[in-house]
Amino acid sequence: MSATDASVDDMEIWWQAQRFLHYEADLLDHREFEAWLELLDEDIAYRMPLTRNVRRDATSQEYSGPRDVAWFDEGIETLRQRVAQLKTGIHWAEEPASRVSHLVTNIRVLDVAPEAGGGERIRVRSRFLIYQNRLQAEVNLYAGKREDVLRRRDGRWTLLSREIHLDQNVLLSKALTIFF
């Protein structure tokens, strides 16, 4: 590992983060949304800012900021509502249900911090490719980067925050009905 690599050099923490993210992807791919919700922290911030085309000298403005418009900016209640809507069977954009595959890779633990009252937080960066197929010929591909904060309390990891950066500035799909 080079001196410029900013990731944490702790294989156990990296392994736990990788297991968590792969398990989460498996739950989503199998439409086990209630079990997925159990992985989310009650204080979750789940956000996908807009991507902008900017000059090379303005890359810090490539994604919309925390107070700007986003594809979604959700907490636990809206995520629960989305899952409840999917479970009704009358969600117009998800009936019939999409077939989805989440591929998560390049997982790096950037830092580990203790939490007040015990436990810890880790900041994890990863890449994703999500394939979505619906009906006969409706296909969507989403590629991008995620930065997550995982929280461990009482020996259990939860997803405290997720920021998703799509590698496209125009949404090519008809609707955003999947979880990233």
Which two three-digit tokens encode residue 23? 């398990």
pTM assigned to the model: 0.89
Q: Is the dihedral of CA 60, 127, 92, 89 positive or negative?
A: negative
pLDDT at 1: 43
pLDDT at 6: 61
pLDDT at 22: 98
Nearest C-alpha neighbor of 62 from the set 49, 47, 73, 51:
51
Rg (CA), the chain: 17
- CA distance linking residue 179 with residue 81, whole number of Å: 13
Q: What is the dihedral of CA 25, 119, 110, 147, to 10 degrees?
A: 40
pLDDT at 51: 86
- CA distance linking residue 147 with residue 149, whole number of Å: 7
- CA distance linking residue 147 with residue 159, whole number of Å: 11
pLDDT at 84: 95
The domains of the chain, with CATH numbers, are: 28-52+65-166 (3.10.450.50)
- CA distance linking residue 48 with residue 75, whole number of Å: 12
Sole residue written with tokens 């989310």: 40
pLDDT at 93: 83
pLDDT (tens, 9 = 90+) of the chain, 180 residues, equals 444 566 677 899 999 999 999 999 999 999 999 999 999 999 999 999 988 877 888 778 877 788 888 899 999 999 999 999 998 878 778 888 999 999 999 999 999 999 988 899 999 999 999 999 998 889 999 999 999 999 999 899 999 999 999 998 888 888 889 999
pLDDT at 116: 86
